[in-house]
């Protein structure tokens, strides 16, 4: 339920590219939270495989928007 609250708050203030980028990022966070705990090696492997690339995309969209303000 909080996922929808976060997205709706962003819809009030953020540009469309930021809103579109946050949805996959939130999905990835929820998926990672529901999975079993990972070891440090597992986390490192995920980072190297870019499994959570949507977080990077969301951050880039936010930085782009902030630079235009």
The pLDDT tens digits for 18-57 are: 989 988 888 887 887 787 777 888 777 877 776 667 888 8
Residue 19 burial (C-beta neighbours within 10 Å; 0-12, 13-18, 19+): middle
CA atoms of 62 and 32, how far apart (whole Å): 22
For residues 55-60, average pLDDT = 88
Q: What's the pLDDT score for residue 60?
A: 92
Residue 65 reports pLDDT greater than 90: yes
Residue 39 burial (C-beta neighbours within 10 Å; 0-12, 13-18, 19+): exposed
Q: What's the pLDDT score for residue 18?
A: 92
Q: What's the pLDDT score for residue 52?
A: 66
> Residue holding tokens 């492997």?
45
CA atoms of 24 and 47, how far apart (whole Å): 17
Note the pTM of the prediction, 2 decimals: 0.68
């Amino acid at each position: 339920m909080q996922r929808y609250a976060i997205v709706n708050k962003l819809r009030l203030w953020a540009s469309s590219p930021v809103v579109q980028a946050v949805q996959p990022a939130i999905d990835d966070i929820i998926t990672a939270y529901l999975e079993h705990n990972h070891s440090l090696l597992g986390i490192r492997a995920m980072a190297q495989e870019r499994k959570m690339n949507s977080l990077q995309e969301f951050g880039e969209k936010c930085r782009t928007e902030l630079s235009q303000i």
